[in-house]
Amino acid sequence: MTVLPLTILMHEGPQGRAYLSALKNAGYRPARIILMVYTHDHASGKPIGPWAPFFLRRQFAQSHQNRTQLYWVRHIRKRMPALYAAMVETIGDALDLPADFFEQTLGDLPLSDYAETVEKVMVKDFRDPKLAKTLQQVAPATLLFTGGGLVPKELLSLESIRVLHIHPGLLPHVRGADGLLWSMLVRGRPGASCFYMTPGLDEGDVALAQEFEPIKIPLSNDERPDDQTLYRAIFSFLDPAIRARLLLSLIEKGGNLNNLPAQRQDRTEGVTYHFMNPAFRRLALDAIFPRTEISLAA
């Protein structure tokens, strides 16, 4: 295994797991994983396990995070095997990812399988001082941000820390939320861009940007789940796979991950998109999951 000068900053979920799976399958290991274990539930905002003794609280919170953040990945695989199999085959072929890549996104392997150094820090969110302290202790370092919220300016300003992020859209043309879906509507194909994070939304210097051939998974009306489930399926499998593929392309391109050449974006170009309304979302979903008379089981 080749150890990369890269720290993966993650919370449990399909995106972080996709990066780790892609690296492992390609023969790479990050130098370090920092796992943020949230003290509060993201959906309700309520503290997790406040009744538990302190020495058990992190274990309980980590188990809660694993169960909730990986729920849809596991649910679709178990309850919708035909949809899961079709996505794995189609996405894997399109992005040159092995079947084992998707199995590992289920989160069953311990993080120690992916990196020798795994640090766990209990935080409320990215503004928690404990996170800043942890990052200061690993500096100098290049971090790969794997989602989970807005990164405050204070973290991005830490000395000797640079933060990479892979956005599911071709920058500067597609910024903002639901990048994969907007890419399908406005550009007709998925894209992804790796850039250095700045306080502006998706406005940092771009190290690599790439578009891919359209990925289509036909579904018959009888097999087609509701739009919300398809939306969850995209962000459980397709979106993480595209980002992971771009990470591998970045590594294969060569260069020092601690100091990648990057091109400044023209902020007057492109559009910053917001989360889609249901009507636009259906159009984007139909572009990825076109309707067909042929059953997946055929």
Residue 298: pLDDT band with limits 50, 70, 90: low
Q: What is the pTM of this model?
A: 0.95
Give residue 213's pLDDT: 96
pLDDT of amino acid 148 = 84
pLDDT at residue 296, rounded to an integer: 75
Q: Are 33 and 114 in contact (CB under 8 A)?
A: yes
Residue 145 lies in a domain: yes
CATH code for the domain of 57: 3.40.50.170
Across the chain, mean pLDDT equals: 94
Whether 41 has a pLDDT exceeding 80, the answer reads yes
Q: Are 212 and 191 in contact (CB under 8 A)?
A: yes
pLDDT greater at residue 66 or residue 150: 66
> Residue 6's closest CA among 30, 23, 27?
30
Say if 71 falls within a structural domain: yes
Instruction: Tell whether 202 is covered by a domain.
Output: yes
Q: What is the pLDDT of residue 211?
A: 97
Instruction: State the helix-helix crossing angle for 239-253 and 14-25, rounded to 10 degrees.
Output: 40
Range of the structural domain that residue 104 is part of: 2-292
Whether residue 298 is contained in a domain is answered as no
Residue 51 is given by DSSP the state T
Residue 223's pLDDT band (cuts 50, 70, 90): confident
Residue whose token pair is 């992804």: 192
Number of domains the chain contains: 1
The pLDDT of residue 297 is 65
Indicate if the pLDDT at residue 282 is higher than 80: yes
* Domain presence at residue 123: yes
Q: In the predicted model, is pLDDT for residue 47 greater than 80?
A: yes
The answer to whether residue 127 is domain-embedded is: yes
